[in-house]
Structures are given as structure tokens and as C-alpha cells.
Structure 1
């Protein structure tokens, strides 16, 4: 059973996203998709790049969103941190086809 708090999960994935590892991009995508799924998506197959603990944190963030809560609202200075994350990982933004 997952016992991580939503706050811990968001903060942990932010640290991973801001690090320099093979899991940084997928951690950013999980957070950004939970924050703004119109512009960011989670490539499910890439979740395997996370170790077991961080995978649980990713599931926790997705569950948080399922419960109608926004990830930036469970951490201090969340709006600022998520805007910074968005700028840093803007190249992962989903490109929409046929936008009118």
C-alpha cells in the first residue's frame, strides 16, 4: 500500500525533474500533465524509467488529480515551481495537429 503523502510525492518528483537523470523527463511529464493535461501528456511506457519508489510517487500524483486536486496546490510556492518547470520542459509540450 502506498503511504506517501501527496505533498511528498509532488516534491519528490520535482526534485527528480530538476535533476539530471534518465528519469527527469518522465517525472516532469507526470507533474506537468497533472497540472495542465491540455499541453503535456504522459507517455505511459516511459514510466518504466522511474524506480519503484518514484513510480509510486507518480501514481500518487495521478491519484491526486483523479481526486480533483491540483498538484501545485499541495506544496509551498506551487504555482511558481510549476511555471518554472513548464518553462524548463517546454520542449515536451504536446503539439496539436490541425489547430484552428
Structure 2
């Protein structure tokens, strides 16, 4: 198993999310859920769309958040990059049911 730094994992998943692959959406969801889990969630079954290294990057981002650090805090211009990512992937926001 490869070791990746949190910074490397966030940057790699940003690259995947900004690309045009079948894994782009799940990479974006991992990052956005770690950034703002009120509005974005990770569909766990879709983690299988990631190759082995990118799956490890996803786990690193989840672990980073578990340890109390926000993903945008470990990269340069993180807040700006995550706001841009949020806009680009806004259609993935969790749809909430209204209270009865």
C-alpha cells in the first residue's frame, strides 16, 4: 500500500475531479463531503470507480477530516479551489426533504 500525504491526496483528488473521467464525480464528492457534509455526501458504492491509488487518496481525505482538519486547509488557495469545485459540482448537492 502506498503512503500519500494529506496534501498530496487532496491535490490528486482535485485533479481527478477537474478531469473528464468516470471517477471525476466521486473524487469531487469525497472532497466536497469532507469540506461540507451538510450539502454533499459520499455514495460509498461509487468509491469502487476509483483506482487503487485514488481510493487510498479518498481514504486519506476522510481520515484527515476524522482527525479534525478540513481538506482545504492543507493546500495553497484551498478555500478558493473548494468554492470553485462546489460551483462546478453543485448539481451533486444533497436534496433534502422538507419537514412535514
Provide the TM-score with structure 2 as the length reference: 0.97
- Aligned residue pair count: 100
**Structure 2: distance between partners of 1:10 and 1:26:** 13
Q: RMSD of the TM alignment (CA)?
A: 1.1
Where does structure 1 differ by over 2 angstroms across 4 or more consecutive aligned residues? none
TM superposition shift of 1:2: 4.7
Aligned to 1:22, the other structure's residue is in SS state coil
Deviations 1:11-45 (A, max 9, x none): 00000000000000000000000000000000000
Structure 2, unmatched stretches of 5+, are none
TM superposition shift of 1:98: 1.1
TM superposition shift of 1:99: 5.0
Q: Are 1:27 and 2:38 counterparts?
A: no
Structure 1, unmatched stretches of 5+, are none
Matched-pair contact (CA < 8 Å) for 2:2–2:53 = no
Q: Are 1:15 and 2:38 counterparts?
A: no
